[in-house]
Structure 1
Amino acid sequence: MSSQKTLYLNVSQITEVRNKDVFLKDIAKIYCDDRNIENRVNAMKVKAIRLDKNRRYMENVLDIIQDIQKQFPDLQINNIGEVDYIIDYHVPHKPRRTWEWIKTIFVCLICFFGAAFAIMTFNNDVNVTDVFSEIYLLVTGKESNGFTVLEVSYSVGLALGIIGFFNHFAKYKINTDPTPLEVEMRLYEDNVSKTLIQNAGRKESDIDVT
């Protein structure tokens, strides 16, 4: 008597696809000790997208399990991933490098001038110039001309502090930890995915608050 085979299913919370025919291997990782079963399950179609526009589709892993068990009734399936998941379909198009560069430069300019303005207004609010002048006068007994070791040290320290906090300079990182921006973007993506899934469930149950 042969032992029952087990298949492990790990579906990602959200997967970006560009093909209208979505297969299980596109959205999940599959493992089974029987390679034939594993390959056949990977090749199963889980979604056929009909609309030719960017859209997110909320799905449930129970549908996948039902389809697998129709083909393999004796197969034991262990889901170790998400229960509700999202297929994020994007219409395929040629990369527009010029437009991508324009958007990148625009965002960089906004961040640069916005940060500079924020730093200048903070310095004016706390009157850093007068504070440095008073400290310079107390320590050296001379009047400050506005360009002393204090101003230079403050400027260099500010730049080093920003680099150290964001753990990133150009393509180099100080250590292997994710940067604060990466953490915030990941939290934002997770919150968006959870909200989409919850909203889909509420609409199906007629409890939508929107």
Structure 2
Amino acid sequence: MSASNTVYLNLREMTQVHRKDVYVKDVGSVYCSNPVIQSKCRAMKIKSIREDGQHCYIESALDVIAGLEQLDPSIQVNNVGKVEYIIDYHPPKKPIPGWQWAKTVFVCIIGFCGAAFAIMTFNNDVNVTDVFQKVYRLITGEKPQGFTILELSYSVGLAGGILLFFNHFAGWKLNTDPTPLEVEMRLYEENIGKTLIQNDSRKEQEVDVS
């Protein structure tokens, strides 16, 4: 088998598509030292979606490999990606002006109120006010009158600590490491993909949980 006819296939675990005709290039990457074969493989159709609504389809890389080898019997396909992959079909929708901004503002308000409530309940639970009063009295020997430098430094330090922890503020980042939110979102997406694949493999199978 000539090395120029070896095709390397790398399928992503989950791909969101908006067209009913799905091609290899939509769900993964293809490499071949022969550019003609590579273009032919990338343009091969692997699925035609019939449903009109949003739906996830669990597909096998073996079907893609079989299709590529039928397309050109002279090639040999090496799969270096996922064995099972997901096509997440979303019907094309007309963009609604301001809708994305409205969702962003709504999420920011919910996140801000939730974080504020969590911080306040924590402060009340551990009685931070009394702790600051006792610390202030131990250091100065006087009873605090209203808010002190301790409350101010605590508030500033809390806001600064949140910014440092999440490593992201607008377009500014401390370093190139992914933020905790990005890590959690990737883990969430991976768990969704694994769950969909496992649920699909259990269809019409009896599962003994005893």
Cα drift, residue 141 of structure 1: 1.4
- Match of residue 152 from structure 1: 152
- Match of residue 34 from structure 2: 34
* Structure 1 residues 119 and 60, CA gap change in structure 2 (3 angstroms): same
* Aligned CA-pair RMSD: 1.8
C-alpha distance in 2 between matches for 1:89 and 1:208: 32
Secondary structure in structure 2 of the residue aligned to 1:203: coil
- Match of residue 136 from structure 1: 136
C-alpha distance in 2 between matches for 1:86 and 1:46: 12
Report if aligned partners of 1:137, 1:143 keep a CA contact under 8 Å in 2.
yes
Pairing 1:16–2:16 present: yes
Pairing 1:101–2:101 present: yes
C-alpha distance in 2 between matches for 1:187 and 1:45: 30
Secondary structure in structure 2 of the residue aligned to 1:47: strand
Pairing 1:123–2:123 present: yes
* Structure 1 residues 194 and 38, CA gap change in structure 2 (3 angstroms): same
Q: How do 1:1-210 residues align onto structure 2 when only pairs under 5 Å count?
A: 5-207=5-207
Give the count of matched residue pairs: 209
Query: TM-score, structure 1 length as denominator?
Result: 0.94
C-alpha distance in 2 between matches for 1:53 and 1:189: 21
Secondary structure in structure 1 of the residue aligned to 2:85: strand
C-alpha distance in 2 between matches for 1:173 and 1:181: 13
* Segment drifting more, 151-160 vs 103-112: 103-112
| CA deviation map 1:95-147 (0-9, x unaligned) | 12333222222211111111111111111111111111111111111211232
> Structure 2 stretches of 5 or more lacking a match?
none
Cα drift, residue 92 of structure 1: 0.3
* Counterpart residue identity of residue 176, structure 1: T
Cα drift, residue 206 of structure 1: 4.8
C-alpha distance in 1 between matches for 2:208 and 2:26: 30
Cα drift, residue 148 of structure 1: 1.2
Report if aligned partners of 1:137, 1:144 keep a CA contact under 8 Å in 2.
yes
User: Aligned residues: percent identity?
Assistant: 59
Cα drift, residue 185 of structure 1: 0.8
